[in-house]
Chains A and B, each alone.
Chain A
Amino acid sequence: MSDKVVLEVRDLTKSFGGLAALDRVSLTVREGEIVGIIGPNGSGKTTLINVISGFLKPDKGSVRLEGEDILGLPAHKVAEKGIARTFQVLRPFYSVPACHNVVLSLLSPRSRRLKYIRRVGLAEQVAMDLIELLGFDRAHDSFRPTRTLPPGYLRRLDIARAIASEPRVLLADEPFSELTAVEATSVGPALLRLNSLGMAIVIIEHRLHYLMGLIHRVIVMHEGKVIFEGNPEDVEKEERIRKVYYG
């Protein structure tokens, strides 16, 4: 984990009608870090990801990826610059086989450039490597119909789709949602493995216990504002955060 800043967000503000979803939110992500963003529902976490990944335009603020200003770019351009995201709601591509979910991502300009992919056939090989990295059984699962996969697999499939283009930062939006406790145990190690390969990861979650042991640093949000930033261990001791979560 170096000190080089990979993603820098400053004073991001976004309101819907009269409601401030983001209120001067700032954060930095360094190379190789795993940052957790936690907070109760409605604190603006998903809006933050939507703004950073280009699906929403903020009212004010700036987003910099390795020094380059990416605010205002459409979502696919942001992805091409090197920010990938997963989605909170599991909606894989059901009309294609499992590995083709990842093949799609390998057909993007960035993937083509970085992985020298020319044809679908080659992309399939790379896709199978990727899902094997995330814990799939290469021979058995690659061409299964996507609808036969359980949610734990689908979640990791979404992650595989996101990282196929070798992004600099992965934004994981509630990767542990819609999963049972047993299924959730497969997601953590997958993320750790990706991090060990040098990828910076930002995990949005509101279930604290999944994140402990996974993240290097934690940011707590509430009602659109960042109210705490520091070590995961200190979070449990902070009185403010207790009040925010437990009332």
Chain B
Amino acid sequence: MAKRVDLIERSIYKRTQSFYAVSSWVEISYLLGPWIAGIAVAVLLPVFCQFNAYVLYVFTIAGIYALLAISWTLLALLRLYSLGHAMYIGISGYIIGILSVSVWNLPFYACAVLAIFGGLLLLVSFHAASLKVKGPYFLLATLLLPIMLAEATYLAPGILRAEEGISGIPVPSYGLVPPSIANYYLVTVFVILILIFARRFINSKEIGLIVRCIADNEYAVEASGLSVWRYKILIFAVSSAIGVIAGILYTLVRGYIGPSSLSLTVSLTPLLGSVIGTVSTNIAGAVIGTYLLVVLLEGLRIAAIYKIIVYAVIIVIVVLTRPRGLFHYMEQFYHFFRRVYE
């Protein structure tokens, strides 16, 4: 006989689905437990690992990739799957690099602000222009952009320093906290948490409703009197802003930008992390998936030679089996009993 899986809701899950959830401590802790535990682990990580610089570095980079994953998921809402998310890092990184090292010597914060403006302008114009053309175009064009930027670095070796990249990007000497890897890590965690809570907040507001409807049937939204174009541009702007911020953090942490930051694996990691973490556009899932993926990749660094091949195999497995996303299974485990019948 075929296997059958029964999912039975836990009674506490059923109880907490209405506003009676605030009536008992048990129910409140059931709902808030995962959040508090997750945030606590994230924030206290530096303590857990005894401020080990390598571990913190890996998790900071993972956080940056997670930001890219959030940016990617926003675009994926509109069924625009970007294959070139390294571009966000590339644009902001090179703008900062040019402004602070190779051409002028502006201080970091000024470069960062200019990078945000420049990046937003370029990226939103690209997205807006690509609205006019059908699906495969977006895949190709986003795939092409990082490659083009990488090639361009060879064309202007004085400014863009070709293969070796721009290094020695100055770290801001003033600011709220002293520059250290632990602080960088906490900054990334902080930004991610802000975004996660912002998403939950916006979801319940008008914009969240409108955007979800645009994803379902944009013609109906247009016929109801709402300008779909305006909301798409808004999403592009938000997605690009998050991506550019990720790029700024990346440049800050590494102090370096080069063609290796524009490679295909950089583009695919946030994508894969989002897909592993969640099927829908749940940001928390994308974040968790991306952290796991990056840590896994770091672990593969031991098997240095085969890293990319293993990575590629992971992609193939994920695509062929199409899991519902880790977050989905985690939710199932938490909210449901699972009984398997033979």
Contact = CB atoms under 8 A, between A and B. Distances in A.
Whether A and B touch directly in their complex, counting CB atoms under 8 A apart, is answered as yes
A75 interface: yes
A92 B221 CA distance: 10
B76 to A, nearest CB: 14
11 contacts: A79-B223, A79-B224, A84-B224, A87-B220, A91-B216, A91-B220, A92-B220, A95-B216, A96-B216, A104-B210, A108-B225
A13 interface: no
A85 interface: yes
Contact of A76 (B205, B213, B225): B225
B223 A85 contact: yes
Interface of B: 204-206, 209-210, 212-213, 215-217, 219-229
B213 to A, nearest CB: 4
Interface of A: 53, 55, 74-76, 79-80, 84-85, 87, 91-96, 100-101, 103-105, 107-111, 120, 158, 161-162, 164-165
A120 B209 contact: yes
Residue in B206, B210, B228 whose Cβ sees the most chain A Cβ within 10 Å: B206
Given A107-B206, A120-B206, 4 more contacts: A76-B223, A96-B212, A104-B209, A104-B221
A130 to B, nearest CB: 13
Nearest to A109: B225
Residue in B204, B209, B212 whose Cβ sees the most chain A Cβ within 10 Å: B209
Given A91-B217, A93-B216, A95-B216, A107 B210 contact: yes
Contacts of B215: 95
Given A104-B210, A120-B206, A111 B225 contact: yes
B217 A92 contact: yes
Contacts of B229: 74
B202 to A, nearest CB: 12
B226 to A, nearest CB: 5
A101 B224 CA distance: 10
B219 A107 contact: no
A162 to B, nearest CB: 7
A192 to B, nearest CB: 22
B304 to A, nearest CB: 44
B222 A75 contact: yes
Contacts of A91: 216-217, 220
A95 B212 contact: yes
A87 B210 CA distance: 18
- Interface majority SS (helix, strand, loop, mixed), chain B: helix
B17 to A, nearest CB: 12
Nearest to B212: A95
A197 to B, nearest CB: 19
Contact of A110 (B204, B217, B219, B225): B225
Contacts of A74: 222, 227, 229
A93 B212 contact: yes
A173 to B, nearest CB: 10
A181 B212 CA distance: 32
A131 to B, nearest CB: 15
Given A93-B213, A93-B216, A96-B209, A164 B227 contact: no
A108 B224 CA distance: 7
A85 B212 CA distance: 20
Contacts of A110: 225
A239 to B, nearest CB: 38
Given A94-B216, A95-B216, A107-B210, A164 B205 contact: no
Given A91-B217, A94-B216, A120-B205, A104 B226 contact: yes
A74 B219 CA distance: 12
A95 B213 CA distance: 7
Contacts of B210: 104, 107
B205 A53 contact: no
A104 B222 CA distance: 11
Kindly list the 3 A-B residue pairs having the minimum CB-CB distance in the complex, ordered from nearest. Answer: A108-B225, A79-B225, A105-B224
Nearest to A81: B225
Contacts of A105: 224-225
Contact of B223 (A95, A101, A109, A162): A162
Contacts of A80: 225
Contacts of B226: 76, 104, 107-108
Contacts of A100: 209
Contact of A165 (B209, B217, B224): B224
A158 B216 CA distance: 14
A190 B227 CA distance: 28
Contacts of A162: 223-224
Contacts of A165: 224-225
A76 B222 contact: yes
